[in-house]
Amino acid sequence: MKAVVLVGGFGTRLRPLTSTTPKQMLPVIDRPMLEHVIAGLARHGVDEVVLSLGYREDVFREAYPDGECAGVALKYAVEPEPLDTAGAVRFAAEAAGIDETFIVVNGDVFTDLDVSSVWRRHHEVGAEGTIALTPVDDPSRYGVVPTDAEGKVLGFVEKPPREEAPTNWINAGTYVLEPSVLQRIETGRKVSIERETFPAIVADGGLWAVRSEAYWVDAGTPATYVQIQLDLLDGLRGDPVDGVADDASIDPSAVIDRSVVMSGARIGANAVVRDSVVSMGAVVRDGALIEDSVVGPGAVVGTGSRLTGLSMLGDGASVDDHASLVGAKVPEVD
Ligand code: GDD
Ligand code: MG
């Protein structure tokens, strides 16, 4: 099975972390997000991945120069300019010479979803496209997908106002598509698969869906970027993972509570790190408190400072001694 993995977005909701690193290359525990995503696809039978990218493609190429990631063969399809989700799929599929049934996934989705069951259902019903659905509390941030009892899709509404969402089953960002879908996508302009292509296939009666209750999180926001890591520590996906890197240096008087401390990070005396992520090479000085927040790679938190409420420090950012930041982004973003 061949999969196109969409990784070309700007990751604006994760700025300032994504000002230097594309979203899917942000570290999750001990590896870039992308490696977790591709390893998940490989477990369900995907053996070739086409990375559909644009923004900071250099970072991906540098990380995987041999055309292999998590044991899967990698191809690169670099858009000259962002073509949006459908434009990106067509561009990548053609660049890789895909001419049979294929898979598409959003590269920021963390899931245990069984893509091979979506593949099977797709062939069973003879669909043109089959998408996985997951239930969420607030569907307004997602593509909302009502179906009939058999799973035939009745409509596709991208990010409707909460009160107008017809169901809480949403597009989980995993699709099985026939190559005929590519012909529906106009070239030379941005085309959204959610706003144009899927509604058109629905109108022709060719879109089907498979509901899944498997673990599923879109890691594209500060809250979910932290959550996917704490979920791994908490054992929500198999055995609990140890979030503290072997070569992190942690003062014996510091408290690390349900947090990730990545390689080369340093935590000072009496510092407290709770429900947070301290990235590679970051420094948390004596007596600082980090709670529900992200300290980016190489960032420095001054002595006695408090960083709480989903504060995010970008690559190499620094916070003065005795500062108190709640929900702050450093450096500031628009
Ligand atoms: N190559 C390329 N080019 N990739 C892109 C582009 C583009 O122009 N625009 C976005 N992407 C990539 C992003 O990097 C991401 O991996 C994926 O496409 C989806 O974009 P997001 O920006 O993360 O979309 P979203 O989270 O708001 O909504 C999408 O995902 C939800 C599930 O997580 C939609 O597909 C929703 O319908 C869906 O429910
Ligand atoms: Mg997303």
What pLDDT, in 10s, does the model give residues 102-113? 999 999 999 999
Give me the pLDDT at residue 291, please.
98
- Mean pLDDT, residues 313-322 taken together: 97
18 Cα: distance to centroid of ligand 1 (angstroms): 15
Tell me, what DSSP letter sits at residue 15?
T
User: Is the per-residue pLDDT at 66 higher than 90?
Assistant: no
User: Is the per-residue pLDDT at 292 higher than 90?
Assistant: yes
Q: How many CA atoms lie within 13 A of 221 on its CB side?
A: 8
Give me the pLDDT at residue 33, please.
96
Of 255, 253, 148, the residue nearest 207 (C-alpha): 148
For atom 33 of ligand 1, the residue with the nearest CA is 218
Tell me, what DSSP letter sits at residue 126?
T
Domains, the chain, in order of start with CATH, read: 2-221 (3.90.550.10), 242-330 (2.160.10.10)
- Tokens coding 32: 């870039």
Q: Residues lining ligand 2 (ion), CB within 5 A?
A: 108, 218, 220
Determine which helix (DSSP H) or strand (DSSP E) holds 35, and give its type and residue range.
helix 33-43
User: Is the per-residue pLDDT at 88 higher than 90?
Assistant: yes
Residues 152-211 have pLDDT tens digits of: 999 999 999 999 999 999 999 999 999 999 999 999 899 999 999 999 999 999 999 999
Counting from 1 in the atom list of ligand 1, the atom nearest the Cα of 220 is 23
> Does the beta carbon of 111 sit less than 6 angstroms from any atom of ligand 1?
no
> Rg of the Cα trace of the chain?
21
- Mean pLDDT, residues 225-253 taken together: 97
What's the predicted TM-score (pTM) here?
Answer: 0.94
> Does the beta carbon of 277 sit less than 6 angstroms from any atom of ligand 1?
no
Q: CA–CA separation, 25 vs 48, rounded Å?
A: 19
State yes or no: is 152 an active-site residue: no
223 vs 20, more confident: 223
Q: What is the dihedral of CA 101, 106, 110, 114, to 10 degrees?
A: -10
**CA of 168, nearest ligand number:** 1
